[in-house]
């Protein structure tokens, strides 16, 4: 039998293959390392793998669209998702380098799971088939459940892991049930084929909508959209902070990628129906996230609620169902990745490891002690609030522009109002950092990777803000 | 005078299996002893396997017994036996929310029945031939069209192997 | 089609009826003269010390976890084995890669000492 189809277009999965081999290498190196070794090299190996993944993405950049075995596709969207996910992973490894050895002695597994989660996320952006979508979703979810609970001496970490696992398993149930109904509706797991059968009137639309409703619950959980967001603050607070940073960007990007694939590939013609459902969810998510963030005392919980609100903004871009909206969502995720991971990196720098969190007193008057860190935090907060000329501003600008041009002006207006609310709590932190009396600010954690991570994130936030055209051009063609 | 329809043998068997499944499922939820819940869960898994047989999905039925009854139920039983206090008396957690939960579950059931009762179900594309190698065809699909899914599945199981041991074993220095 | 399962149904019914009958008959027909020695937990044996419901060791759970994963693996391999004459080298290759992935997990567990009985 002719096996040439096996290696035809195999480059479609090059970045995932690199990440997978890197994870294997980390596990192997960990198994072979001497018992008294500190595992410092493992972090470097993980970092190298992520960089190689980015290089692999660049290598297949601009190639004509292709499909591997009918399940994984190479197109602009898949590449864009990979850029965001791998950037998040890059920062997560940098933040973990000094952090992982403090919270666990099993640093090899820590990095291996981080890389495998990244592989699952980046695969989710490339998949155009429901079975692979589900398996990729589960791969990164499972790795994240474990990583959330890896700080075993901290009871909050164990609680977060259990909560995340139970609710995540429940959401996966919804997801797989929805996928099964979608299969029943069209007789195929291939999203493009499902779309064709729908357009030809061959699919069972009643089953399709029941399936879509269930899929929405599954994705809503992963994206922490509002009625399904209850787990987010507890899990974000309990998880080791570098993992929280990674999760807040990576999970959202991957789940959103899967969601966009389902909606954009299979159901583009039904936008009039799902557009409204997404609009309602977006308004709820933005508003509830921002209002709840106003009242948080813990910095990690505040950032958790703020990430819920940001998921709402991104959802606004999807409502019109246009390629422009998809590109805007990708750009937003990239900008959000830089500034949000940056903010979590500052939490890593300030927290006492045993507490795994920073409260209000932990950063008051920090500017007098650590001026550079304070400046970086101010950049991240301004950017998250959407103040020009930083990355977050252009993200919001593109998202709301896509909504207005798609005919959803009222949604954009509500988004802008929400940004105004959010500015209050972001700026309050900046004010506290600069103008409050210094209290017992903890000693600053510092290792090369952390400092480099904060510097790169701040630099990126500013650069994307100053030269947005460069990045917009990068993400512009990726919506299709 | 309309005559009552005489149920066929298949229908009788289906009703018996379905009733067995539903009653054991209900038992899982209402049993006051956690260990009884676990045993009833295994019974429910058996019932579901029976339903798969009725659907002529033998592979699924065997899988159901092999994995759910053979492995998952065993695992749950082990988990309960790990905690000393969980086996005696009223150990099944039942909080003040159960009324609301029951109400919502009931409303969900009514809504689901109402929705699914009103929709046209797709007719089977073609009848299954008795000697058709269905499972072999599944295997063929697994290694061709769904090969990426299969290998990622292997990756997922690897993550499970590593992660489970990471979290479950004793913490060493 | 379904009739081939009739035997399983009959078998299940037998498997339920025979033991229940046996216990019932003993209950109905047997003479009853209870005394303290007869009522002991182990007749002509030692009194048990402590609770009979002992707490299981966490080690069992680890083994069970590993078992579940390999159970799932076996289920995936079964249809591929049946399809072997149609897919031969390709199927074997895919299956071997699949097994190798799990082998990495097993090697990891072994090397980390999860398989050792402490």
Q: Residue B128 pLDDT more than 70?
A: no
Give the pLDDT score at A315. 93
- Percent of chain A whose pLDDT exceeds 70: 96
Q: How far is it, in rounded angstroms, from Cα A272 to Cα A258?
A: 20
Which of B43, B68, B93 is the last residue in one of the domains? B93
Q: How far is it, in rounded angstroms, from Cα B169 to Cα B167?
A: 6
Q: Which two tokens stand for residue C62?
A: 């680890």
CA distance readout (Å), C76 to A414, B153, C94: 50, 10, 11
Q: Is A339:A391 a contact under the CB 8 Å cutoff?
A: yes
Q: Are residues B75 and B143 in the same domain?
A: no
Cβ contact C5–B135 (<8 Å): no
Q: Are residues B87 and B137 in the same domain?
A: no
Three-state secondary-structure class, residue A374: helix
Q: Which of A226-230, A289-293, B140-144, B160-164 has the lowest mean pLDDT?
A: B140-144
Q: How confident is the model at residue B122 (pLDDT cuts 50, 70, 90)?
A: low
To the nearest whole Å, the CA of C112 is away from the closest chain B CA by 9
Closest CA to A338 of A59, A92, A46, A77: A92
Q: Are residues B77 and B145 in the same domain?
A: no
Give the pLDDT score at B1. 53
In a domain, B122, yes or no: no
Model's pTM, two decimal places?
0.90
Q: Are residues B25 and B89 in the same domain?
A: yes
Which of B75, B93, B111 is the last residue in one of the domains? B93
Which of B93, B121, B147 is the last residue in one of the domains? B93
Q: Chain C interface, mutation test: which of A1, A30, A35, A146, most C Cβ atoms within 10 Å?
A: A1
Give the pLDDT score at B88. 64
Contacts of A70 in chain B (CB under 8 A): 145
In a domain, B147, yes or no: yes
- With vertex at residue A21, the alpha carbon angle to CA A19 and CA C87, rounded to the nearest 5 degrees, is 110
Please report, for the domain that includes residue B16, its CATH number: 1.20.120.1200
B10-24, B78-92, C78-92: range with highest mean pLDDT: B10-24
> pLDDT tens across A156-185, in order?
888 999 999 999 999 999 999 999 989 988
Q: Chain C interface, mutation test: which of A31, A33, A34, A68, most C Cβ atoms within 10 Å?
A: A31
Q: Which domain holds residue B146?
A: 132-173
In a domain, B16, yes or no: yes
Q: Residue B173 pLDDT more than 50?
A: no
Q: Residue A268 pLDDT more than 70?
A: yes
Q: Of A135, A153, A184, which is closest to B122 when you measure between CB atoms?
A: A184
Cβ contact A206–B172 (<8 Å): no
Residues sharing a CB contact under 8 Å with residue A363, sequence separation 6 or more, in sequence order: A299, A350, A377, A429, A432, A433, A441
The interface residues of chain A toward chain C in range 17-36, judged by CB-CB distance below 8 A, are 24, 27, 31
To the nearest whole Å, the CA of A31 is away from the closest chain C CA by 7
CATH (residue range C2-111): 1.20.58.1610
Closest CA to C72 of B133, B54, B150, B25: B150
Cβ contact A31–C89 (<8 Å): no
Q: Is A226:A308 a contact under the CB 8 Å cutoff?
A: yes
Q: What is the mean pLDDT of residues A318-341?
A: 90
Longest dimension (CA), chain B: 81
In a domain, B144, yes or no: yes
Longest dimension (CA), chain A: 76
Q: How confident is the model at residue C82 (pLDDT cuts 50, 70, 90)?
A: confident
CA-based nearest residue in chain B for residue C61: B78
In a domain, B54, yes or no: yes
Give the pLDDT score at A377. 92
CB pairs under 8 A between B and C: 149
Cβ–Cβ contacts within 10 Å for residue B52, how many? 18
Q: How far is it, in rounded angstroms, from Cα A175 to Cα A131?
A: 11
ipTM, two decimals: 0.87
Q: Of C75, C83, C101, which is closest to B63 when you measure between CB atoms?
A: C75
In a domain, B102, yes or no: no
> pLDDT tens across A420-457, in order?
999 999 999 899 888 887 777 667 788 888 889 999 99
- The H or E element that residue A242 is part of is helix A241-261
Q: Which of A198-202, A213-217, A252-256, A356-360 has the lowest mean pLDDT?
A: A356-360
Domain count, chain B: 2
Q: How far is it, in rounded angstroms, from Cα A191 to Cα A266?
A: 5
* DSSP state string for B142-162: HHTTTHHHHHHHHHHHHHHHH
Residue ranges covered by each domain of chain A: 281-480
> pLDDT tens across A274-322, in order?
889 999 999 999 999 999 998 888 889 999 999 999 999 999 999 988 8
Q: Are residues B88 and B16 in the same domain?
A: yes
In a domain, B164, yes or no: yes
- Percent of chain A whose pLDDT exceeds 90: 49
CA distance readout (Å), A410 to A384, A401, A403, B97: 22, 12, 9, 38
Three-state secondary-structure class, residue A157: helix
Cβ contact C1–B56 (<8 Å): yes
Q: Are residues B29 and B86 in the same domain?
A: yes
To the nearest whole Å, the CA of B26 is away from the closest chain C CA by 22
Q: Residue A145 pLDDT more than 80?
A: yes
CB contact, 8 Å: B75 with chain A? no
Q: Are residues B79 and B141 in the same domain?
A: no
Q: How confident is the model at residue A476 (pLDDT cuts 50, 70, 90)?
A: low
Q: What is the mean pLDDT of residues A344-349?
A: 91
Dihedral sign of CA atoms A75, A334, A245, A446 in order: positive
Q: Which two tokens stand for residue A299?
A: 């910095």
Contacts of A6 in chain C (CB under 8 A): 90
Contacts of B76 in chain A (CB under 8 A): none
Give the pLDDT score at C55. 66
Residue ranges covered by each domain of chain C: 2-111
C40 vs A44 pLDDT, higher one? A44
């Amino acid at each position: 039998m002719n096996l040439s189809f096996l290696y035809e277009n195999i480059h479609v999965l090059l970045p995932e293959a690199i990440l997978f081999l890197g994870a294997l290498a980390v596990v192997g190196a960990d198994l072979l390392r001497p018992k008294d070794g500190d595992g410092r090299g493992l972090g470097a190996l993980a970092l190298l793998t992520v960089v190689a993944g980015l290089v692999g993405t660049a290598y297949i950049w601009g190639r004509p669209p292709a499909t591997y075995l009918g399940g994984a596709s190479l197109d602009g969207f898949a590449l864009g998702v990979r850029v965001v996910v791998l950037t998040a992973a890059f920062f997560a490894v940098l933040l973990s380098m000094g952090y992982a050895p403090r919270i666990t002695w099993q640093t090899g597994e820590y990095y291996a799971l981080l890389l495998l989660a990244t592989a699952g996320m980046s695969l989710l952006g490339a998949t155009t088939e429901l079975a692979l979508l589900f398996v990729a979703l589960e791969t990164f979810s499972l790795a994240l459940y474990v990583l959330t609970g890896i700080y075993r001496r901290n009871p909050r970490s164990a609680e977060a892991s259990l909560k995340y696992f139970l609710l995540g398993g429940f959401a996966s149930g919804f997801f797989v049930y929805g996928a099964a109904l979608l299969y029943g509706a069209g007789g195929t797991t291939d999203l493009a084929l499902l779309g064709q059968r729908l357009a030809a009137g061959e699919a069972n639309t009643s089953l399709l909508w029941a399936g879509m409703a269930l899929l929405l619950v599954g994705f809503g959980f992963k994206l922490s959209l509002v009625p399904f967001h209850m787990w987010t603050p507890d899990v974000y607070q309990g998880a080791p902070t570098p993992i929280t940073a990674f999760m807040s960007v990576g999970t959202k990007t991957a789940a959103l990628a899967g969601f966009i694939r389902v909606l954009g590939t299979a159901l583009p013609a039904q936008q009039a129906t799902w557009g409204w459902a997404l609009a309602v969810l977006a308004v709820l998510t933005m508003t509830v996230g921002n209002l709840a963030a106003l009242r948080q005392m813990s910095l990690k919980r505040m950032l958790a609620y703020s990430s819920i609100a940001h998921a709402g903004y991104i959802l606004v871009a999807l409502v019109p169902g246009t390629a422009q909206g998809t590109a805007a969502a990708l750009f937003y995720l990239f900008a959000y990745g830089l500034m949000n991971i940056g903010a979590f990196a500052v939490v890593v720098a300030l927290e006492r490891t045993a507490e795994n969190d920073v409260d209000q007193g932990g950063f008051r008057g920090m500017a007098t002690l650590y001026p550079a860190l304070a400046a970086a935090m101010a950049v991240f907060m301004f950017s998250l609030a959407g103040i020009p000329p930083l990355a977050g501003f252009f993200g919001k600008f593109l998202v709301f522009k896509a909504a207005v041009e798609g005919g959803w002006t009222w949604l954009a207006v509500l988004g802008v109002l929400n940004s105004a609310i959010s500015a209050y709590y972001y700026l309050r932190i900046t004010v506290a950092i600069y103008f409050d009396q210094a209290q017992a600010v903890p000693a600053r954690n510092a290792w090369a990777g952390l400092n480099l991570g904060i510097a790169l994130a701040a630099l990126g936030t500013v650069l994307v803000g100053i030269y947005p055209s460069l990045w917009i051009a990068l993400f512009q063609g990726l919506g299709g | 005078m309309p005559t009552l329809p005489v149920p066929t043998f298949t229908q009788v068997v289906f009703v018996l299996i379905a009733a067995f499944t539903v009653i054991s499922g209900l038992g899982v939820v209402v049993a006051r002893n956690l260990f009884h819940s676990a045993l009833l869960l295994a019974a429910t898994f058996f019932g579901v396997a029976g339903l798969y047989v009725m659907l002529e999905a033998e592979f699924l039925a065997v899988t159901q017994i092999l994995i759910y009854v053979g492995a998952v139920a065993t695992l749950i039983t082990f988990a309960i036996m790990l905690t000393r206090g969980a086996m005696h008396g009223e150990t099944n957690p039942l909080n003040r929310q159960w009324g609301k939960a029951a109400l919502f579950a009931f409303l969900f059931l009514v809504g689901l029945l109402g929705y699914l009762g009103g929709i046209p179900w797709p007719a089977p594309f073609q009848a299954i031939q008795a000697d058709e190698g269905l499972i072999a065809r599944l295997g063929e699909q697994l290694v061709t069209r769904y090969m990426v899914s299969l290998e990622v599945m292997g990756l997922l199981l690897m993550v499970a192997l590593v992660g489970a041991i990471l979290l479950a074993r004793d913490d060493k220095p | 089609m379904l009739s081939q399962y009739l035997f399983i149904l009959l078998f299940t019914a037998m498997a339920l009826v025979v033991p229940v009958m046996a216990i019932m008959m003993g209950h109905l027909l047997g003479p009853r003269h209870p005394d303290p020695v007869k009522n002991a937990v182990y007749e002509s044996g030692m009194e048990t010390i402590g609770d009979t419901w002992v707490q299981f060791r966490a080690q069992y759970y680890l083994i069970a976890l590993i078992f579940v994963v390999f159970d799932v693996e076996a289920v995936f391999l079964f249809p591929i084995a049946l399809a072997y004459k149609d897919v031969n080298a390709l199927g074997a290759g895919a299956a071997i890669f699949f097994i190798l992935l799990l082998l990495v997990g097993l090697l990891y567990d072994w090397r980390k000492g999860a398989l050792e009985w402490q």
